[in-house]
Amino acid sequence: MKKLFIIPAVLLLVGSCTQKGTPGTKMSESQRLAEGKTIFENSCGKCHDLPDPKAHNDTEWIGIVNAMAPKAKLSSEQGALVYDYITSVN
């Protein structure tokens, strides 16, 4: 039991831009990014090679993560963490 789903994952759902220091977030920004990286590496290289974050811009990643998160059986919270990680390194 490592993952605590405590983040209101509205970022991805509303398709808004990533906001630093979202109010109500219990994890720090760096914890969120580390968590997102772990989920990304564990979940997004199963069906194809791990995608290169730099291959798409932030806007494109919204649609991609929305399409891929269900394939990877991620919760919307996990999807938001993956999105935040990807867009922090692209």
* Residues of this chain that bind ligand HEC (CB under 6 A): 43-44, 46-48, 51, 64-65, 68-69, 71-72, 74, 82
What torsion, rounded to 10 degrees, do the Cα atoms 58, 61, 65, 66 define? 90
Q: Which is nearer to ligand HEC, 25 or 75 (CB)?
A: 75
Q: From the CB of 82, what's the least distance to ligand HEC, in Å?
A: 5
Tally the C-alpha atoms within 13 A of residue 53's C-alpha that lie toward its C-beta: 14
Nearer to ligand HEC, 43 or 87 (CB): 43
Toward ligand HEC, which CB reaches closer, 3 or 46? 46
Structural tokens at position 2: 């490592």
Taking the C-alpha atoms of 53, 56, 58 and 60 in order, what is their torsion angle to the nearest 10 degrees? Answer: -130
CB 88 to ligand HEC: min, Å: 14
